[in-house]
């Protein structure tokens, strides 16, 4: 079987699976609806309750989950290849801590501003993620030759700790209700009220995915080492910058939409590698697709398992992801 | 006979950071088409760095490297990689690739951004694996292979790059005697049958003596001596290179040169202390 054919078959399989999950997920919930009825154009919109529940109440949330899941999983793949470390996550380099600090400040300082229908919390968290990305990038790029992946890692981890301390400090001086609201945000949630936040995050995620699209073979080579990649014809400096900035952008957009939902960025890439091998031309798009369905299913569990009580989706992914991650860790050593 | 110069490092120097000592210090190296050159020198003498300058993965701090008539740093990495392939000392993977995937990565400089390897690329990779005797390992995970198998797969990847020049950094270090022999005869074969021009850095004087037609001796980032192997590989040069007394014997029947180290020469401590790296 030619390589082209294998790529097409595997990715086609993942795409069909994801499409099926995304179509099925909105039909599940406290009120059962019929997919056939929801898509029946002969019934007028006003009287088609199934369509209203499908398109207005549930689909935005499913799409938000898909977008966030795809962005975090793909960003995880890119950062793992960039850092040559399978244990890296989209949050390793401080992006999510920056976003959380932004959200925290927006909540506690009661910033009430908006832009094109987007409220202050996602705007502030996106700004925070850009700030964190900028700091880490400036530190790592100050090295003369390319990005130092060691500096990236150390700067990212340190910035994470620093921002976390700031978050705790702001939380400590904030009033109880505000602190609780911010903590709730940090648990992650996909309960978007409309399509607006999705549409707002979409361009950034698409921009990042555009960069991801040209990267897979380069990521293969980066993962065998910068020197070897350069000898095989990779412009290492450029590739590293594009990889870091696009992965950070995808992460920042995802976190401002759904909060810092953990474990997607590491569990999904590992699962996909177990299934299809290490070639990034498959791993990257397949992880994006599988990340979308994985988060949508986790969110489905979050809103149905203890219904009418909702579990924060970040708790669900961590409950599934944590033990899985530990299992991987033990298996690796 | 007039031979074309394929790769020419002209008085190159290199330091890894501003203010750091020169690792390569005013080195001139000419590799003619079809050459098989060995680079010898003690640890830290600048061999690996010189290979990096020759392959263009690092730019010299001063001096220049010419590939044919062109300055190497004017070429994109992609164009350079189509003409120069490198076998690094060690290959450590972050993920679990199969051997054939590693070899196919050698096709990278020949493929467009969205191009997937076609039948021709697969054929070239398969041939490269056959040439290095690794065809049967194609589907095996790279990290499960033995040291010698890994090294031969990495050489196959470099061959799949279809480059006229091959730079090898200690290709037989960490290999046992059998693999050392296997690799050296493979390299000799590639040079003679396929006309691949090669520069090999090595600590193995006997390997250098048996396959390299010319040698470059490096110490402290400088070239101590260079020229045809039989002229350069003398007891005197070996003492200057490694501080080791050695017997150099030429077998009159086979024509092989054998180097037998005899003893370490103790040099005045002040001389050693004054040498950087």
**Chain A residues inside the 8 Å CB shell of B109:** 232-233
Comparing CB atoms, the residue among A2, A220, A228 nearest residue B88 is A228
Task: Kindly determine whether residue B119 and residue A227, on different chains, have CB atoms separated by under 8 Å.
Answer: no
CB atoms B108 and A221 under 8 Å? yes
Q: Tokens 């976190």 belong to which residue? A: A255
Smallest CA-to-CA distance from B94 within A288, A157, A278 is with A278
Name the pTM for this structure.
Answer: 0.90
The pLDDT of residue A234 is 93
Instruction: Walk along chain B (277 residues) in steps of 10 and give the mean pLDDT of each run.
Output: 74 89 93 93 92 93 91 92 92 90 95 89 94 92 90 93 93 82 88 92 89 93 92 90 87 79 73 44
pLDDT at B268: 61
Q: How confident is the model at residue A117 (pLDDT cuts 50, 70, 90)?
A: low
Helix (H) or strand (E) holding B250: strand B244-250
Q: Do A3 and B116 touch (CB under 8 A)?
A: yes
Contact A80 B94 (CB under 8 A): yes
Q: How far apart are CA A179 and CA B24, in angstroms?
A: 59
Question: What pLDDT score was predicted for residue B63?
Answer: 93
Q: What is the DSSP letter of B252?
A: T
Is 80 exceeded by the pLDDT of residue A69? yes
Peptide linkage before A308 cis (omega within 30 of 0): yes
Average pLDDT score over residue span A181-204: 86
Q: Residue A248: name the closest of A119, A124, A98 by CA.
A: A98
B77 and A234 within 8 Å at the Cβ level: the answer is: yes
Measured between CA atoms, the residue of chain A closest to residue B141 is A277
Q: Summarize pLDDT for A221-250 with one digit per residue, the tens.
A: 999 988 899 999 999 989 998 999 999 999
Judge: A232–B81 Cβ closer than 8 Å, yes or no: yes
Q: Distance between CA atoms of B161 and A287, rounded to whole angstroms? A: 29
Give the residue from chain A lying closest to B17, CA to CA.
A144
pLDDT at B90: 83
For residue A189, name the pLDDT band (cuts at 50, 70, 90). Answer: confident
Q: Which residue of A has its CA nearest to B167?
A: A231
Q: Average model confidence (pLDDT) for chain A?
A: 87
Which residues 6+ apart lie within 8 Å of A80 measured at CB?
A86, A87, A88, A266, A269, B94
- Higher confidence at residue B12 or residue A27? B12
Confidence category of residue A333, pLDDT binned at 50, 70, 90:
low
Q: What share of chain B is helix, strand, coil (3-state, %, to 5)?
A: 40, 30, 35
Cβ–Cβ gap B97/A273 under 8 Å: no
A142 vs A269: CA distance, rounded Å = 30
Closest residue, chain A, to B53 (C-alpha): A231
Are A86 and B95 an interchain contact pair (Cβ–Cβ within 8 Å)? yes
Q: Helix crossing, A196-213 with A280-304: angle to 10°?
A: 160
Helical (H) or strand (E) element with B262: strand B257-264
3-state secondary structure B6-58: EEEEEEEEECCCCCCCCCEEEEEEEEECCCEEEEECCCCCCHHHHHHHHHCCC
Q: Give the residue from A128, A71, A127 showing the smallest Cα distance to A247.
A: A71
Q: Does domain A3-332 have CATH number 3.40.50.300?
A: no
Residues β-bridged to residue B165: B84, B197
Q: Reply yes or no on whether the pLDDT at A115 is more than 70.
A: no
Higher pLDDT among residues A119 and A20, named by residue: A20
pLDDT tens digits, one per residue of A156-172? 888 989 999 998 888 88
Query: For position B179, what pLDDT does the model report?
Result: 79
* A225 shares contact with chain B (CB less than 8 Å): yes
* Residue A112 in this model has a pLDDT that exceeds 80: no
**Helices A95-108 and A176-186: angle between axes, nearest 10 degrees:** 150
Q: Does A234 touch chain B (CB under 8 A)?
A: yes
Nearest to A121 by CA among A178, A38, A55, A205: A178
Range A106-132 average pLDDT: 78
pLDDT, tens digit (0-9, with 9 covering 90-100), for A44-64: 888 888 888 888 888 999 999
Q: How confident is the model at residue A116 (pLDDT cuts 50, 70, 90)?
A: low
Domain residue limits, chain A: 3-332
Q: Nearest CA of chain B to the CA of A331: how many Å?
A: 14
Confidence of residue A91 (pLDDT cuts 50, 70, 90): confident
Average pLDDT for A300-320: 87
DSSP secondary structure letter of residue B258: E
For position A321, what pLDDT does the model report?
76
Structure tokens of A125?
């968290």
Minimum-distance CB partner of B95 among A144, A234, A273? A273
Please tell me the predicted confidence (pLDDT) of residue A67.
Answer: 96
Q: Could you give the angle at the alpha carbon of B204 between the alpha carbons of B202 and B210, nearest 5°?
A: 105
Chain A residues with CB-CB distance to B82 below 8 A: 233
pLDDT score at B277: 39
* DSSP one-letter string for A118-175: B-HHHHHHHHHHHHHHHHHHHHHHTSSSS--HHHHHHHHHHHHHHHHHHHHHHHHHS-
Distance CA A4, CA B68 (A): 36
- Is pLDDT of A260 > 80? yes
- C-alpha A272/C-alpha A284 separation (Å) is 9
Which tens digits make up the pLDDT trace of A135-155?
888 887 776 555 677 788 888
Among B77, B79, B108, select the one facing A217 at the smallest CB separation: B108
Report the chain B residue with the minimal C-alpha distance to residue A230. B57
Q: Tokens 């993962």 map to which residue?
A: A223
> Percentage of chain A with pLDDT > 70?
94
């Amino acid at each position: 079987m030619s390589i082209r054919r294998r790529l097409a078959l595997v990715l086609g399989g993942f795409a069909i699976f994801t499409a099926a999950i995304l179509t099925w997920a909105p039909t599940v919930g406290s009120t059962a609806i019929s997919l056939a009825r929801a898509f029946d154009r002969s019934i007028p919109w006003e009287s088609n309750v199934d369509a209203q529940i499908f398109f207005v109440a549930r689909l935005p949330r499913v799409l938000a989950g898909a977008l966030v899941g795809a962005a975090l999983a793909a960003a995880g793949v890119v950062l793992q290849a960039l850092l040559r470390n399978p244990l890296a996550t989209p949050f390793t380099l401080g992006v999510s801590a920056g976003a959380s600090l932004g959200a925290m400040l927006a909540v506690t300082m009661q910033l009430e501003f908006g832009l094109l229908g987007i409220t202050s919390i996602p705007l502030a968290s996106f700004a925070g993620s850009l700030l964190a990305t900028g700091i880490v990038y400036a530190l790592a790029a100050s090295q003369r030759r390319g990005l130092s992946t060691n500096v990236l890692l150390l700067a990212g981890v340190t910035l994470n700790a620093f921002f976390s301390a700031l978050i705790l400090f702001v939380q400590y001086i904030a009033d109880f209700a505000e602190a609780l609201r911010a903590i709730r945000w940090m648990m992650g949630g996909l309960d978007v009220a409309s399509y607006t936040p999705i549409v707002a995050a979409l361009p950034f995620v698409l921009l990042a995915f555009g960069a991801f699209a040209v990267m897979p073979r380069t990521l293969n080579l980066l993962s065998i080492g910068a020197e070897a990649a350069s000898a095989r014809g990779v412009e290492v400096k450029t590739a590293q910058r594009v990889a870091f900035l696009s992965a950070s952008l995808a992460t920042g957009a995802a976190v401002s939409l759904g909060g810092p939902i953990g474990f997607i960025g590491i569990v999904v890439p590992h699962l996909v590698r177990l299934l299809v091998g290490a070639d990034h031309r498959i791993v990257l798009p397949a992880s994006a697709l599988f990340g979308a369905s994985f988060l949508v299913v986790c969110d489905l569990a979050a809103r149905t398992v203890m219904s009418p009580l909702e579990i924060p989706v970040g708790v669900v992914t961590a409950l599934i992801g944590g033990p899985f991650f530990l299992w991987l860790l033990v298996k690796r050593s | 006979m007039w031979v074309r110069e394929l790769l020419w490092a002209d008085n190159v120097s290199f330091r890894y950071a501003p203010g750091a000592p020169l690792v390569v210090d005013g080195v001139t190296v000419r590799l003619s088409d079809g050459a098989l050159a060995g680079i010898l020198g003690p640890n830290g003498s600048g061999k690996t760095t010189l290979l990096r300058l020759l392959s263009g993965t690092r730019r010299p701090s001063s001096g220049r490297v010419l590939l044919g008539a062109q300055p190497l740093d004017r070429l994109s990495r992609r164009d350079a990689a189509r003409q120069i392939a490198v076998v690094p000392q060690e290959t450590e993977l972050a993920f679990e690739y199969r051997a054939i995937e590693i070899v196919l990565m050698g096709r990278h400089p020949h493929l467009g951004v969205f191009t997937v390897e076609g039948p021709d690329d697969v054929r070239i990779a398969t041939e490269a694996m056959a040439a290095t005797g690794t065809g049967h390992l194609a589907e095996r995970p790279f990290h499960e292979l033995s040291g010698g198998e890994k090294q031969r797969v990495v050489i196959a990847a470099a061959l799949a790059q279809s480059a006229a020049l091959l730079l090898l950094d200690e290709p037989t270090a960490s290999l046992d005697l059998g693999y050392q022999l296997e690799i050296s005869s493979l390299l000799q074969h590639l040079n003679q049958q396929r006309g691949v021009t090669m520069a090999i850095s090595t600590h193995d004087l006997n390997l250098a003596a048996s396959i390299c037609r010319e040698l470059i001796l490096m110490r402290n980032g400088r070239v101590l001596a260079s020229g045809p192997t039989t002229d350069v590989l003398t007891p005197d040069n070996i003492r200057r290179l490694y501080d080791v007394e050695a017997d150099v014997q030429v077998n009159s029947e086979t024509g092989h040169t054998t180097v037998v180290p005899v003893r370490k020469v103790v040099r005045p401590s002040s001389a050693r202390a004054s040498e950087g790296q």
